[in-house]
Amino acid sequence: MGLSSPVPVLGAGGWGTALAVALTRAGHPATLWARRPDFAARLAEVRENREYLPGVTLPPGVAVTSDLARAVAGAEFALVVVPSVGVPDLLAELPRELGLVLCAKGLAPDGGRLTDLARGLGFTRVAILSGPNHAEEVGRGLPAATVVASTDAGLADAVQAALVSPTLRVYTSRDEVGVELGGVLKNVIALAAGLVDGLNLGDNAKAAIITRGLREMGRYLVSQGAHEDTVYGLSGLGDLVATATSRHSRNRAAGEAIARGDHPIHRPQQGGKVVEGLRTAGLLDTWASAHGQDLPIVRAVALVASGEWTPDQGIASLMGRDARAELDG
């Protein structure tokens, strides 16, 4: 892909829209693909994604289409930015020679990684983009940093070159597993932090959830083959802090709403916006039970999210665990 070829951005929610704008800031045109033709037509005309990223004007370098084949024609790689639940159907329609930059922070339907799903479908060039990146801030050009991870060094370098700009620092990593799963797990811990907020349990409890959540993330990531240091990088600790403490986070807000009794807990969407952690918690809890792994915060969030436990029961389950040494798990 030459420098002036548009980069396809597949998914016109908040993050896809912000990434399309970020590409133009980096000097590259983007083609933003929206699934619904009427939505794409409105976005092309109004030049603002009022549903998912209000207040950010689409620059002239962003073209909008609902024609998927046209969006990816001739591209070396595409940013895939639909929610995880929509990734399998979207990938099924894409040419296998296309490089994929997976941007969803969620799991495949079987609880596995989306990068594995992509390779299982026959894609050979696969990367993950993840970090502390609220669309609301990246869309406005506030300074941020992110990570593109791939075992394909050429792909990671190409994505870095396409996205890096004075307001977005893009680091590369070879630890695909660690970068992908950090983004997946932090949503669940942020939901737990939201429960703490909604129950007014205080700053000590919030700090404890974040810190113990980070350890839980670390145990799971390393068990899946991640490098331990990645847990403490932008896609791990960085994104956990950004999500668990942010007024922008849908996951944190969903936990807060559940604790206040005003969230429809069986619906994985909030006001039409995706809350990945609600789905992830159940998938991960099922995996942990099957593999005898102890993920207590994941378990509490899964059972609260499914309605089996009240938020108070979830917190009690964490406070009532056996006494132990801090570094013992």
Ligand X SMILES: O=P(O)(O)OC[C@H](O)CO
Contact (Cβ atoms closer than 8 angstroms) between residue 72 and residue 93: no
Residue 154 marked as a ligand binder: no
Residue 50 or 321: which CB sits closer to ligand X?
50
Q: Tell whether residue 16 is a contact of ligand NAD (CB under 6 A).
A: yes
Residue 140 marked as a ligand binder: no
User: Which stretch, 111-119, 132-140, 297-305, 314-322, contacts ligand NAD (CB under 6 A)?
Assistant: 132-140
265 phi/psi in degrees, rounded to 5? -70, -15
Q: Which of 6, 8, 13, 198 binds ligand NAD (CB under 6 A)?
A: 13
How far apart CA 19 and CA 184 sit, in angstroms, is 19
Neighbouring CB atoms inside 10 A of 37's CB total: 11
As given in the structure block, the two tokens for residue 67 are 């024609």
How far apart CA 257 and CA 275 sit, in angstroms, is 12
Contact (Cβ atoms closer than 8 angstroms) between residue 78 and residue 5: no
Map residues 35-74 to x or -, x wherever contact with ligand NAD holds by CB under 6 A: x----------------x----------------------
Residue 228 marked as a ligand binder: no
Residue 322 marked as a ligand binder: no
User: Which stretch, 7-15, 66-74, 150-158, 253-261, contacts ligand NAD (CB under 6 A)?
Assistant: 7-15
Q: How far is the CB of 135 from ligand X (least distance, A)?
A: 7
Active site residue 186: yes
**Buried b or exposed e, range 6-27, using 16+ CB within 10 angstroms:** bbbbbbbbbbbbbbbbbbbbbe
Q: How far is the CB of 119 from ligand NAD (least distance, A)?
A: 19
Residue 133 marked as a ligand binder: no
Residue 306 marked as a ligand binder: no
Which residues inside 236-255 make contact with ligand NAD, applying CB under 6 A?
Answer: none
Q: Which of 7, 8, 9, 11 binds ligand NAD (CB under 6 A)?
A: 11
Residue 206 marked as a ligand binder: no
Neighbouring CB atoms inside 10 A of 287's CB total: 18
Q: Which residues bind ligand X (CB under 6 A)?
A: 105, 132-134, 187, 190, 239, 242-243, 248-251
The tally of CA atoms less than 13 A away on the side-chain side of residue 135 is 24
Residue 43 is which amino acid? L
Helical packing angle, 203-223 and 296-305, nearest 10°: 110
> CB under 8 Å to 59, separation ≥6 — which residues?
21, 24
Residue 243 contact partner, candidates ligand X, ligand NAD, none, CB within 5 to 8 A by sort of partner: ligand X
How far apart CA 71 and CA 164 sit, in angstroms, is 22
Length, in residues, of the chain: 329
Q: How far is the CB of 13 from ligand NAD (least distance, A)?
A: 2
Map residues 80-109 to x or -, x wherever contact with ligand NAD holds by CB under 6 A: -xxxxxx---x------------xxxx---
How far apart CA 14 and CA 137 sit, in angstroms, is 11
Q: Which residues are catalytic?
A: 186
Binding-site residues for substrate sit at 105, 250-251
Residues contributing to the annotated binding site: 11-16, 35-36, 52, 105, 131, 135, 186, 239, 249-251, 273-274, 276
Kindly list the residues in this chain that would bind ligand NAD in the complex (CB under 6 A): 11-16, 35, 52, 81-86, 90, 103-106, 133-135, 273-274, 276
